[in-house]
A = this chain, B = another copy of it.
Amino acid sequence: MKIIKTIKEFNNYRKNLEGKIGFVPTMGYLHEGHLSLMKKAKKECDIVIVSIFVNPTQFSPNEDLEKYPRDFEGDKDRCRSVKVDAIFYPEEKEMYPEEGMTTVIVEKITKKLCGVSRPTHFQGVTTVVSKLFNIVKPNRAYFGQKDLQQSIVIKRMVKDLNIDVNIVVCPILREDDGLAMSSRNEYLNEKERTVAPIIYESLQLAKNMFDNGEKSVERLKLAILEKINSKISDDMGKIDYVEIFDTENINNVMKVNKGNAIALAVYLGKARLIDNIIL
């Protein structure tokens, strides 16, 4: 497995590659969710490339850039365990050698959901993913459904800009108690970790209600809010949003339909956790 730290070195590596290239962009601190993307890529492609880069431009000044967890040695082992071919592991000055003037902006769908509390997050994501796609030149790129809005935004960017990369969105992996896997679960203390599964339980409750005929957006949202608030007290955390929407344009729906998504974000201790379910 190659570890490549510079773009120049990557270009030299890339030009000799043949066959289908699968790409998994990550911020590292890899868990089973990331590994599931790599395994899927391995199954569908000849070469699998993983990038590990904690991208500063997708954090706002008050967010957790500095304390975002890092474990490159462990990440290498994890990548090796699923037979990744190369890790692209650039330093910040390699990706942003000077103040960049160029931004790739997706409008509208980035203003909703997480975009409300993280207004510059998605332009950081779309810009760095554009850069990574231009460096890695993959045929397929793998994203987790855990970051549902991100995957919708990336798909939209790829379509609008005619980027020749196939976007593959893979299912959410969960801990045994249902909590969606996330590098940020690391931030939870023992008590917070104990109550965290209520987030997914609330989504399952809503899905059950929907499957049993409930089509009211308000009643489903209310059920989720009540369920979460029954376990997460004001001093432990608070709900950022709960939304029900169509998965192409993230438009709120009047009446819930099959294929709509429910997504939510919850502040819990030092963590901001997101989760979602497709109906």
Contact = CB atoms under 8 A, between A and B. Distances in A.
A137 interface: yes
Contact of A102 (B11, B106, B131): B106
Contact of A109 (B11, B101, B160, B164): B101
A11 B7 CA distance: 27
Nearest to A163: B134
Contacts of A137: 164
A108 interface: yes
A100 interface: yes
A104 B106 contact: no
Contacts of A103: 104-105, 107
A130 interface: yes
A102 B7 contact: no
B101 A161 contact: no
A109 B100 CA distance: 12
A161 B107 contact: no
Contacts of A107: 101-103
A161 to B, nearest CB: 5
B102 A104 contact: yes
Contacts of A161: 102, 104, 127, 130-131, 134
Contacts of A162: 7, 131, 134-135
Question: 8 smallest A-B Cβ distances: which pairs?
Answer: A102-B160, A134-B162, A100-B160, A101-B107, A131-B162, A102-B106, A102-B157, A135-B162
Interface of A: 7, 11, 100-109, 126-127, 130-131, 134-135, 137, 156-157, 160-164
